[in-house]
Amino acid sequence: MPLYHIVLFRLNPTVTVETLEEFKNHARAMVSKVPGLIKLEINSPLPNTAYRSQGFNMGIVAILERAEDLPIYTTHPAHSRVHELREAVADGESLAYDLEFPA
């Protein structure tokens, strides 16, 4: 069953567009580097529902082939680099949530 790894965080208000784009590009590039990672998307909440986001204004959804791929994903060097970049663009804590769905 595919695993949806969801991470929500708040952007640092001082982050530059260039730094945010570097983060997004590195994150999306993990798809071709991390075994088991099928797809990765990054975006802000929809404007008409952002009021429900409790201040989280950026989200990542990484889709992995199966739950067993999560340890590979989280320890992969490409993910470590993206995690560092996320720390540079984020302000405060993040929220991670993993869900499995039938294919």
Give the pLDDT of residue 102: 86
Give the pLDDT of residue 42: 96
Q: How many CB atoms lie within 10 A of CB 94?
A: 17
Give the pLDDT of residue 103: 72
Quick check: pTM over 0.75?
A: yes
* Second CATH level (architecture) for the domain 3-100: 2-Layer Sandwich (3.30)
The Cα 11–Cα 1 span in angstroms is: 31
List, for the chain, all residue ranges whose pLDDT scores fall below the cut of 50. Answer: none
Q: In what order do the strands lie in the sheet with 3-11?
A: 37-43, 58-64, 3-11, 90-100
Give the pLDDT of residue 2: 97
Residue type, 65: E
User: Which residue do the tokens 């769905």 mark?
Assistant: 101
